[in-house]
Structure 1
Amino acid sequence: MNHYYIIYKPYLVQSQFSPVEGKRTLADFFDVPKDVYPVGRLDHDSEGLLILTNDKQLNHRLLHPSFQHEREYWVQVDGAITTTAIQELQRGVNISIDGKKHRTLPCSVSVFSNEPQVPIRNPPIRYRKEIPAPWIRMVLKEGKNRQVRRMTASVGFPTLRLIRYRIEDITIDGLQPGDIVDLSRKQLYQQLFHE
């Protein structure tokens, strides 16, 4: 039987159930059947939406680059990000992935006019009164390793906090870190693939 869950992965938690010495994993927060695993990953220092399943077909359809699903990230950056930097991110920037140069695909990037309502992070970001830390919204159709962090750093505004808010029509609205929602295959596939 296939299972489908969406979770809000907390900060400083590995995106796996198998133990990692000295680090918290999904097993510390979520009690799911043994054959369920995360589709894709979020870095240890990122938080937000992860899909858990034992549906191997879903894994392929979400992770294969040919499908280009939208992934929306809410990103708090270090410094008052400029219009020029936003435009560079939108057009695509050069980042290094495993020692090779990668040009990111064009994407949608905008600055939040009001700070988004997000859970308090523990520990919080390093706060410096004299340096702004605005939030931007980035919608990508690819998911390279640490891509968002590499992108914002490449235009001079390092990422302080990173939340994956959405994959296609599935969001973490109403969820807190450590929350889990059980979905049917139909619900999940409708929201991901509009089937």
Structure 2
Amino acid sequence: LANKLMHPSSVIDREYLVRIQGDVTDEMRSSLLKGVVLDDGIARFTDIVDGAGEGKNRWFYCVVMEGRNREVRRLWESQGVKVSRLKRVRYANIFIPSHVRVGQWIDLTEREIQDLCMTAGFDSSTYTRMMEPTRDEAAQRERHDKKLRAASAAPRRPKVPVRKRPPIVE
């Protein structure tokens, strides 16, 4: 499922919140929406919406349909502006909460997984098979849970008191 969803050939929209340093003109927007020639072919945004900010630092919500390597950054930089911040805020119909930091993840609900399967073109029988854990996955989860239980039940080491040196008397 993940491979099918993330492959650039899939036409799943990915929305990003982008902070741009530099002036963004209407001509730039038009060019980015029509398409720009990059090293690996033509790329474009399907939507660009103003976010917050004024002057040289402005935020934009941008939607791409492919997800090629560093595509959003390369699109903006082709217009002569610098991307100073980039965060994915939506993937298909899944909105990513703002509290999720780099390297963190959230568990999706069963309904969200089912929606992603349908978006990827899988039928309901494929979804049902995917949700059943294999023996290896079940055993791995059990080992992980066992380690967590053991770690939380382990007695804590008492703090060692700090010994004071006797004062030096001359």
Tell me the distance in 2 between the aligned counterparts of 1:189 and 1:78.
39
Tell me the distance in 1 between the aligned counterparts of 2:96 and 2:6.
19
Tell me the distance in 2 between the aligned counterparts of 1:70 and 1:192.
15
Aligned residue number for residue 108 of structure 2: 183
**1:133 and 2:76 aligned:** no
Conserved? CA contact 1:105–1:142, under 8 Å: no
Which residue among 140, 163, 168 is the counterpart of 2:87?
Answer: 163
Aligned residue number for residue 153 of structure 1: 77
Conserved? CA contact 1:74–1:163, under 8 Å: yes
Aligned residue number for residue 17 of structure 2: 74
Stretch moving more, 103-112 or 153-162: 103-112
Q: CA deviation at 1:60?
A: 3.1
**Residue segments in structure 1 that go unaligned for 5+ positions in a row:** 1-57, 116-130
Conserved? CA contact 1:92–1:107, under 8 Å: no
Cα deviation digits, residues 92-150 of structure 1 (max 9, x gap): 111124xxxx11145211222x35xxxxxxxxxxxxxxx61101111010111111111
Tell me the distance in 1 between the aligned counterparts of 2:61 and 2:117.
20
Q: CA deviation at 1:186?
A: 3.7
Q: Please tell me whether Structure 1 or Structure 2 has the larger radius of gyration of its CA atoms.
A: 2
Q: Decide which structure has greater strand share.
A: 1
Instruction: State the secondary structure of the residue aligned to 2:112.
Output: helix
**1:111 and 2:50 aligned:** yes
For normalisation by structure 1, the TM-score amounts to: 0.53
Conserved? CA contact 1:168–1:192, under 8 Å: no
- Greater relative contact order (Cα 8 A, min sep 6): structure 1 or 2? 1
Q: Give percent identity, aligned residues only.
A: 28
AA matched with 1:108 = D
Conserved? CA contact 1:169–1:192, under 8 Å: no
Conserved? CA contact 2:14–2:92, under 8 Å: yes
Alpha-carbon RMSD across the aligned residues, in angstroms, is: 2.5
Q: CA deviation at 1:191?
A: 5.1
Structure 1 residue runs of 4 or more that deviate by more than 6 Å after TM superposition: none
CA 1:152 to 1:174, structure 2 compared with 1: closer, same or farther past 3 Å?
closer
Instruction: State the secondary structure of the residue aligned to 2:32.
Output: helix
Tell me the distance in 2 between the aligned counterparts of 1:163 and 1:93.
21
Q: CA deviation at 1:177?
A: 1.3
Instruction: State the secondary structure of the residue aligned to 1:160.
Output: strand
For 1:43-82, list aligned pairs within 5 A: 58-82=1-25
